[in-house]
Amino acid sequence: MNSAVTPATAQPVIEAPRSVGSPYLFKRILVATDFSAQATQATKMALQVGHAFQSEIHVAHAVTPVVVAGEGLLIPPDVLSSDLEAAKVSMDRFMSAQPDVGDLKVRKTVALGDPVDLVMRLIEEEKIDLIVAGSHGATGLERLVLGSVAETILRRTQIPVLVVGPHCEVSRHPFGSIVLASDLTTTGVRPALYACALAERGHGRLTLLHVMDKKARVPGYEADLFQDRLKKQMEGLLPAQTGMFCKPIVRVEHGNPAEVILSVAHVEAATMIVVGLRPRSLLAEHSPWSTLSHVIRDARCGLLAVRDQIA
């Protein structure tokens, strides 16, 4: 997504999807909910993806005890028990209101504790393949105060995370048009394999996008030759059999990465954007101006973040 000023080489892949087009790519999906409107959208997205793979859906809600700062008071057990039971009722009501469950197997978890800690525990215990999380898309001071559960999950987990932003429109065909936004550094073979597998599963279009800063120049390379080289590098991320089910569109564009990604996603009627994350990288916790935050905040589709390597 960032500017490229030197020819890049895709990093070696350590773990990839089971196979391109595998019906088991997302066997178990976990969606975190707080019963909000944004959580409803995330749940709808999880269900649509689940139908594509006949996944088992895990829906989790954490009841976080409210502690009065400075009082040092212990919350009575009967109050905690009451809160937990009320949350279980809310969970049942929340899921009964979802119209697209169909024949999917749904498992519900309501527990006391921190939302992120609950998600991380379930990932390990239930062997989760995909996390779906809503993001409120707050900016500035609001974001500094509220933080983002979705972004904390992105920092801590190594499995793919599908983030549903505030303007995301959930499609019944979530893999109809996939845009893989690659800077050829953070997005290498593994994210490309996921993008390819999803496009095949949905019989959809696949667009490979690399964004360069307008001022980027590479000594010894003419602009057209360098652009052709980048396109070949992008194509080199895909498995050889990709051409059997789709003809990828390869685009090298110039400008602000977030703005270009959003523009191309609009033109291509994207139903999902795929990006890569560096191994063990930390997202800027208080950086509402970052490319990733910008895309999540304004995208009309979900954003799938995949680590290029597994530590």
Mean pLDDT calculated for residue range 60-65: 89
16 pLDDT band, cuts 50/70/90, is very low
Domains contained in the chain, CATH given: 28-144 (3.40.50.620), 177-307 (3.40.50.620)
Neighbours of 28 (CB within 10 A): 20
Please tell me the least confidently modeled range out of 212-221, 239-248, 265-274.
Answer: 212-221
pTM, two decimals, is: 0.83
Q: Residue 127 pLDDT more than 90? A: yes
47 pLDDT band, cuts 50/70/90, is very high
Question: pLDDT tens digits, residue range 96-108?
Answer: 999 889 999 999 9
**3-state helix/strand/coil string of the chain:** CCCCCCCCCCCCCCCCCCCCCCCCCCCEEEEECCCCHHHHHHHHHHHHHHHHHCCEEEEEEEECCCCCCCCCCCCCHHHHHHHHHHHHHHHHHHHHCCCCCCCCCEEEEEEECCHHHHHHHHHHHHCCCEEEEECCCCCHHHHHHHCCHHHHHHHHCCCCEEEECCCCCCCCCCCCEEEEECCCCCCCHHHHHHHHHHHHHCCCEEEEEEEECCCCCCCCCCHHHHHHHHHHHHHCCCCHHHHHCCCCEEEEEECCHHHHHHHHHHHCCCCEEEEEECCCCCCCCCCCCCHHHHHHHHCCCEEEEEECCCC
d(CA 80, CA 41) in angstroms, rounded, equals 28
Taking all residues of the chain, what is their mean pLDDT, rounded to a whole number?
81
d(CA 40, CA 45) in angstroms, rounded, equals 9
243 pLDDT band, cuts 50/70/90, is confident
Mean pLDDT calculated for residue range 68-90: 74
d(CA 230, CA 9) in angstroms, rounded, equals 10
Please tell me the least confidently modeled range out of 65-69, 174-178, 203-207, 239-243.
Answer: 65-69
If one compares 167 and 71, the residue with the highest pLDDT of the two is 167
64 pLDDT band, cuts 50/70/90, is confident
